[in-house]
Amino acid sequence: MTLLPQELLQSSAPSERPVISLCEGSDPRVVAGALAAHQANLADIILVGDADAIRAELSAQGASESDGIQIHDPMTSPLTPEFAAAFHELRKHKGVDEAKALKTVQTAVVYAAMLVRLDYATGTVGGAVHTTGDIVRSAIQVIGMAQDAAMVSSFFLMYPPKDAPEGARAMLYSDCGLVIDPSAKELSEIAKASAQSCKALLRQDPKIAFLSFSTMGSAKHPAVDKVSEGLSLLKEAAPEIEADGELQFDAAFTASVGQRKAPESTVAGHANVMIFPNLDAGNIGYKITQRVGGYAAIGPVMQGLAKPANDLSRGCSAEDVTQMIAVTVLQAQNG
């Protein structure tokens, strides 16, 4: 059975102690999840936000600032002037002057990302309070894209319940949280990045299914053509990646259906990476899998950034925060 991120990280502890910055440092769920991560030796933690509010929440949960739990208030931090100068240099071509740079880095979400950019932290996690747009914007502007990435996309890690029927397995669903209507080229880039994420976080060789309402030409439509073209572009760019399509979900997931609908495919019926044709399908699909199928969903996890930064659902639990901290550390290990 595939290990959850926390279990995987604990089975291969990093040689250097990672540091994760959390931009919603006074949120009760974030504090609880951060404390659990620290107690499990996953990472040291920087809680970013109003210092008095963070201390009050730590106290309410029977904890306090310590060697492994730091508090950074962007309004008073000695690092803020350094961050303001760096942000001004980074964004002055966009018309950001020194005063605006200072004001911007005094916001917790940007300050937390600056901690990562300037190597005070290994990665950052937010989204319990902030919107996905806030988190993604700060990550792209401050941390930037990886040199080998054509775009930033996202995915969910999906883990089956313990009582799941035979054939259930851990999977990676992409893109379910960020790219609304990817082109064929973007689908191929999402799939290539997701293959790397599968190896890093599921520790499995990827078998990638390009999903559609059609299987191997059973329907004709421009939407099907887009998916097929995305597969072709991936095979041209990365022929070593095992991928197939277009496949309906049942053909991608269930061995007997895959054998019947796509008998020559080595992916059909065995896929562990599902590439959805658009955000409608991806978002609906992961939530059905989670709510009806009982799968645990961890994400949205971002891929394509120079250093790890990840988003939380605003409906997240403390356990979700802990698992996302583990994901962020694992991404840094495999960066």
Q: Structure pTM?
A: 0.91
> What does the DSSP assignment read for 26-61?
T-HHHHHHHHHHHHTTS-EEEEES-HHHHHHHHHHT
Distance CA 105, CA 311 (A): 19
CATH architecture of 5-144+305-333: 3-Layer(aba) Sandwich (3.40)
Render pLDDT for 257-306 as a digit per residue (tens, 0 to 9): 999 999 999 999 999 999 999 999 999 999 999 999 999 999 889 999 99
Q: Do domains 5-144+305-333 and 153-296 have the same CATH topology?
A: yes
Q: What is the DSSP string of 213-239?
A: SSSTTSS--HHHHHHHHHHHHHHHH-T
- Is residue 317 over pLDDT 70? yes
Question: For the residues 315-330, what does the mean pLDDT come to?
Answer: 94
| The pLDDT of residue 127 is above 90 | yes
Give residues with Cβ within 8 angstroms of 119, minimum separation 6: none
Query: What percent of the chain stands above pLDDT 90?
Result: 86
pLDDT band (50, 70, 90) for residue 14: low
Q: Dihedral, CA atoms, 206, 326, 186, 240, nearest 10 degrees?
A: -30
Q: Where are the domains of the chain?
A: 5-144+305-333, 153-296
CATH topology of domain 153-296: Rossmann fold (3.40.50)
